[in-house]
Amino acid sequence: MEIASQGPKQLELISLQMAKGQMQQEGAATLELLESAATSAPQQSSTPSAAVGSVINTTA
């Protein structure tokens, strides 16, 4: 009877291990995607251009 009760517990443990492995793979893929997006994103200059904020609408 002891052997029969270990079956479902063993399957649950295997299932949890597989889920953990999948979560780790998805996390690694997400980090890789974020890193690749950060390196391929256009770099913005630290100083704003002269056109930014040059026209201000003050009428209500």
C-alpha dist (Å) from residue 5 to 1, 16, 26, 53: 6, 18, 33, 72
Give the pLDDT score at 44. Answer: 63
Give the pLDDT score at 28. Answer: 96
Claim: this prediction has a pTM higher than 0.75: no
Give the pLDDT confidence of 3-45 residue by residue, as tens digits: 556 788 999 999 999 999 999 999 999 999 999 988 876 666 6
Give the pLDDT score at 1. Answer: 39
DSSP string, 1-60: -HHHHHHHHHHHHHHHHHHHHHHHHHHHHHHHHHHHHHHHSPPPPSSPPTTTT-------
Confidence of residue 55 (pLDDT cuts 50, 70, 90): confident
